[in-house]
Amino acid sequence: MLRRASMLLARRPILAARARPFSTDLPAAPSADATFTEAWTKVIPNMDPPKTPLSFMQPRPPTPSSIPSKLTVNFVLPYASELATKEVDMVIVPATTGQMGVLPGHVATIAELKPGVLSVHEGSEVTKYFVSSGFVFIHANSFADIIAVEAVPLDRLDVNLVQKGLAEFTSKLSSATTDLEKAEAQIGIDVHSALNSALTG
């Protein structure tokens, strides 16, 4: 029994060497889709093939051998880019599983965001945003991509309007008759409750 266990343990490094890369790792250089380009040229020879999303992305640097001192953050909304390749010390995101702190060298992770406060720490400065929802993609090379549906700097929110909105959605929930009205009111309550706790707590 012990001989078999020691043989299995001795083979473990071989298995680790064959491990698949994380899905968040991008190749250092984008690979062109030669098959698509060739097929396009056969069908429509007088028109350039369309560009794929990969052709607009800059290749990520490879994963460093040692942990970098800074985390590089991209924070984007559907209509704007709040932070583009900004080097920071730490980011705290409101994940659905709880508050998640991201430092340089964090393990590759994908997390869904819930309504809450996103904090960007750079030295002694802390910038706070309220995000409604979205995703965070943490890459093994100390890059983090934060994609939010909506985000507002915390200092631009009015606590009185937030409390008024919370009261309105609470009243809508109590008078709702259909499942759709109840769901819409509950979403409004969840967002306004998160806004209220971000401003008052």
Cβ neighbours of 114 (radius 10 Å): 18
Among candidates 35, 32, 36, which has minimal Cα distance to 57? 32
pTM of this structure: 0.66
Domain range list for the chain: 68-154, 157-198
CATH of domain 68-154: 2.60.15.10
Phi, psi of 98 (to 5 degrees): 130, 175
Among candidates 166, 90, 157, 98, which has minimal Cα distance to 129? 157
Angle (nearest 5°) at CA 22 between 102 and 85: 45
Residue 22 identity (one-letter amino acid):
F
Return per-residue pLDDT of the chain as tens, 201 residues: 555 555 555 555 444 444 444 444 445 444 556 787 888 888 888 888 877 655 666 666 677 777 888 999 999 988 888 888 899 999 999 999 999 999 998 988 999 999 999 999 998 999 999 998 999 999 888 889 999 999 999 889 888 998 999 999 999 999 888 999 999 999 899 888 888 888 886
CA within 13 Å, CB half, 175? 6
